[in-house]
Structure 1
């Protein structure tokens, strides 16, 4: 069995590719789904799929600027799209779902990716689990108690943040309990991520990675976990307590701290200040993918500020780098509409619909196109999009 201990969870995907593994059943024990699609445009995905395992490393985000490219929050997206993983079993901590598992998952998926309507409609509650499809592959979501029968070849993939309750950083379940539950399974590969960098695991819990591997395999590893940084702490605070994260980053020391500061300001709806931070970041030496990510965030801030000409410029610069970003084309269309440029708004909104057809965001595009055509005195076109919106809603709600 291949065994890898890492801090950056995206190394699991590289490990699977290096080993030539395909069609994996992946037992993914993690507090996060790790299927974000926002920074992996179709052109990037195609280039990654055509790359050798060695070449794949060039798509990884920089440890100092972990906000674009392949990273810990999106590595399962290409793994599913390419067929490296053909059955993803997301084993969630018992404390994570705050409602019925199916209802919770339907909301959770929207935080990660623009879900295909067909995949969304496939989700069903079965024997304490949710079964369905995601990115064209089989998906199961459950707690450890409700693990389904597991096929081969098998990858066991564990993030140490699975063991850490996010509200108080306590270890809510012993790795020994997990190891005992997984002991019957014969895996081709075991990957364990400590996830200290990025703020997902407190540094004093990183030792659980080596302990878990010893429990699962009998192998004793001597490792030095990365020290937690101020940015890691701020990242952990960002969602639940952006005020504290912002206070921690009052004087940013590097690009990543400034990036996190811009996110905290945005969460607090201080969009003018967030835009200022993003403008400073854009003056740095960046990769094209990093620049596209920052420009997209800047455009969103500028829309919130009502600065639509500047938002248009930002979105156009994103599309010069990643022309197939449907959500960016959509925001560009809305910005043109706010600027009383109806012809350009219509063109962009229709292009956005083409790019996102079959996905959940197409509902928003149909709704805005219906409003646009009503506002421009074209009721027949408006009725067409209202009807398409109703059809799609029915297809996922029945």
Structure 2
């Protein structure tokens, strides 16, 4: 027996939908059983679960990488629950998806308390139960509805109970393994440095096997989905080694942050001229790896400063995926202006009005106006940068200015340029 009504599930067009955080193979496997629309419903529900967990248990967050970890966990869990319900309990419900297991291990390494993890599990299953209850009321005939509600509630409760037990077992095993490891001692030292707690430089250098008293260049590396047989950890290590080779500064300090993200510190080269271009052209990065660079900074305080610059560059890069390399020094204004995302969106729409609309045509007009202003209103320079005719720039700038809420004036140019830079990061 199978629950055919699950194949009628449809995503809510009024809710946001993001590309899946889990590997494509997991999505394809469930789509082969239930169909593409139920899978999109599941992913949409899972991301709503992640948002609710993050709001109620903020310890799960802390940046783009931890959020991606949480999304992988909720997405894999919801897809597994749907397969189990579709098979009416005859599926494999006594194991956790690998993505959920890896998330649990990561939580243990980050020191997230077990009770907060289990709180997130309860919140997630409660949200899934509410969403499925609404689906039963929509897709199951009235005469069968009460019986079906009772059955799926019992199955979900049993699934949640098993899920929580497996999470606890996996967490405790990883915590015990982690506590005695050299990796844990290194991570503890890094945590102290990043929290600006007092650290003995000589002791930190010995433990990290990296001289903390020099000038540092921090980086964040992360893997996006790519069809490559190499695991994410190997691709990250390959790129970290290649970056160090490009800069010629010796072995880097690499700290795994999540399953597909690594933090990196290198000793900054003496000559910083053209550093970003050298990294971009000479680094043999692995497929699907992206990199964010922080600003060079000195000593233990500099390790913290450069790292947080790299984290901000990573955040900006994830807003609008594009170039594989993002240098904080090139995006620091946008990073500063988008620290409060909601306020930044208000600012963009206030300044740009209809020009902030989505679509390729609006994107083209915004980019032309942005370059034109960056080139100090030189039509010739803007045309050269954009590789278009001068008349094309003239037309696009005129059209863009017509869409602005008010005429562009010298006094508003700074705000307008900032709004265009933010829009470029968030809207493309």
- Shared fold, TM over 0.5: no
The structure with more helix, counted as a fraction of residues: 2
The TM-score range, normalised by the shorter chain, is 0.3 to 0.5
Q: Normalising to structure 2: TM-score of the pair?
A: 0.30
Q: Normalising to structure 1: TM-score of the pair?
A: 0.32
The structure showing larger relative contact order (alpha-carbon pairs under 8 Å, at least 6 residues apart) is 1
